[in-house]
Structure formats: structure tokens, C-alpha cells
Structure 1
Amino acid sequence: MSRLRKMTMLGWVEVTMAAFALTFTVLAIWDRQWVEGVLGAEPDGGDGSLEWLLVVVPAVIACVCAYAARRTWVALAPAAEG
């Protein structure tokens, strides 16, 4: 049976969360003024700290979820015969 078929629900959640967090990170970097556009105000006083926080946090989440998904994937690998 392939590892793809044995992948647990937790593994799929990790992969999905990593993909969503990475997508959000890229979109947040692409348009850093989206917070002001959505809220109609400058919650950080215009210094951009909130925007960078909204880039860094999802990037960290993406890295952690991708690492967890990788560990899940490796755990499903058949043991090496030797």
C-alpha cells in the first residue's frame, strides 16, 4: 500500500494548514496594505508592524506544519531491510 493511501487525517491537516499558511504569507507580502483596506484604519499607526506580524506568524505556522507533515510522511515509510 502506498504512503499516500496510508496518510492519516492528521497528516492531511498538517499539509493543508501548511499550504494555507504559505498562501496567506505570499499574499500578505504581495499586498502589505491590505489591513488598512479591509479595516479602513491604520491599527499600527502606519508603521507597518502589524503587516509584518501578519507575514511572520503564518510563515512560522507554515514551516511548523510542513515539518510535522514531513515527519508524518517519513513515519509511514517502510522500514529499510538490511
Structure 2
Amino acid sequence: MMRNVRVRAWLETIAALISGILFVVTLIWRDWIERAFGVDPDQGSGALEWAIVAAALCATVVFSLLARSEWRKVKEHPAA
């Protein structure tokens, strides 16, 4: 049972890290989608980038809180 908690804690931590990196990269380098994929899905308005920033911020907060909860479980009940 505790092994599942540890795996889940690590997965949530990694998801929080990835979404946090996506948040920062998109916030700083707004045209990365156009440069990386060679397409301009929002015709230069920046709406897609702001949507990605908002979604990544929400995902980072949610995954961070979930990971925090799981790590607390591991800390309270260490494996025997």
C-alpha cells in the first residue's frame, strides 16, 4: 500500500514540475509554439499562449497540492 503512495507522490511531483516548466517557458517565450511546430494556431493574437499559461498554472497548483498531500502520507506512515 505504501509503495503505491510513494509512486503516486513521485508521479504528482513530476507532473507539477513539468506543468511548472511549461508555465514559465510559455510566460517568458510566448511564441514557442510557432517556432517549435511552424504553425500559428491563433493567427498572432497570443490567445493560445495565454490559455496555456492559465492551464499550466492551474495544473501546477493542483499537482503540487496533490503531491504535498501524498508526501505527507509517506512522512506520517513510513514503510516498515
Regarding TM over 0.5, the answer is yes
Structure with the bigger percentage of helix: 2
1:67–1:39 Cα change, 3 Å: same
Please say if 1:49 is aligned against 2:32.
no
- Structure 1 length-normalised TM: 0.77
Q: Which residue of 1 aligns with 2:68?
A: 70
Q: Runs (4+) of structure 1 moved beyond 4 Å?
A: none
Higher alpha-carbon Rg: 1
Equivalenced residue count is 74
Please say if 1:23 is aligned against 2:21.
yes
Structure 2: distance between partners of 1:47 and 1:78: 49
What is the RMSD computed on CA atoms of the aligned residues?
A: 2.0
Q: Give ranges in structure 2 of 5+ residues lacking alignment.
A: none
Q: Which residue of 2 aligns with 1:4?
A: none
The C-alpha deviation readout for 1:32-69, integer Å capped at 9, x for no partner, is: 01111123232112110001112111211111110001
**Is the deviation greater in 40-49 or in 24-33?**
40-49
